[in-house]
Chains A and B, each alone.
Chain A
Amino acid sequence: IAGITQAPTSQILAAGRRMTLRCTQDMRHNAMYWYRQDLGLGLRLIHYSNTAGTTGKGEVPDGYSVSRANTDDFPLTLASAVPSQTSVYFCASAPSGRTDTQYFGPGTRLTVL
């Protein structure tokens, strides 16, 4: 079934630990995105990638890193998690990026204690 998968579905993490959120799409979309969703703030862009091998910073990139080694995968890494990174994280993809509709994965709920 075509779409975007994210793993894990949810995670509780101790502060200071490293964590990688996984995102995989099988639609051969060039562009991929990571957002975080916080109550009362909507979704905010963390990092994005217009094509494999390139990445860029979004609105709230601090404390996060990404890589795009191939078209399908776009992992998001928290090098040393802090409680303010408690959020729901959404991965999204779009066919070619600019002006395209973005399609979202099911999200990962992350709690940092």
Chain B
Amino acid sequence: AQTVTQSQPEMSVQEAETVTLSCTYDTSENNYYLFWYKQPPSRQMILVIRQEAYKQQNATENRFSVNFQKAAKSFSLKISDSQLGDTAMYFCAFMGGNTDKLIFGTGTRLQVFP
């Protein structure tokens, strides 16, 4: 069974600095999809970024980028130029290539300080 592990329950970063959130996963599949979702205090789950396992190039979305290491089964999220609005819970999620079921990690609570 696939599992997703986020080993950092909480992290903090100063505004304008860079922070990296870790995520590892376990799967025997070769084709799959990985996601980072953000959950601010409003509770809404917001997609941050998506990575297809067959793509070697790391996905980027403005200040958000990932470091996808397929062999190591690692999928970290880098937030550059952190902003106060980045304060949220961040969830890493896995979807197998033959399913549509998302498997979530337990989340990392990120606090951005002024």
Q: Are B101 and A42 in contact (CB under 8 A)?
A: no
Query: Does residue B11 face the partner (Cβ distance < 8 Å to A)?
Result: no
**B95 contacts chain A at the CB level, 8 A cutoff:** yes
A97: nearest chain-B partner, CB-CB: B100
- Please report whether the interface of chain A is mostly helix, strand, loop or mixed according to DSSP: strand
**Is there an interface contact between B91 and A99, defined as CB atoms closer than 8 Å?**
no
- Write out the residue numbers on chain B whose beta carbons fall within 8 Å of the beta carbon of A33: 102
Closest to B91 in A: A42
Asked whether B99 is an interface residue with its Cβ less than 8 Å from the other chain, the reply is yes
**B100–A42 CB distance below 8 A:** no
Whether the Cβ atoms of A90 and B100 lie closer than 8 Å is no
Interfacial residues of chain B within 57-114, with CB under 8 A of chain A in the complex = 91, 95, 97-102, 104-107
Report A87-110 CB contacts with B as 1/0, cut-off 8 Å: 010101010011111111011010
Cβ-neighbour of B50 out of A35, A101, A104 (below 8 A): A101
Q: Taking the nearest CB of chain B, how far is it from the CB of A66, in angstroms?
A: 15
> Which 4 pairs, one residue from A and one from B, show the smallest C-beta to C-beta distance?
A104-B45, A42-B104, A97-B100, A43-B104
A residues adjacent to B (C-beta < 8 A)? 31, 33, 35, 40-45, 48, 50, 58, 88, 90, 92, 94, 97-104, 106-107, 109
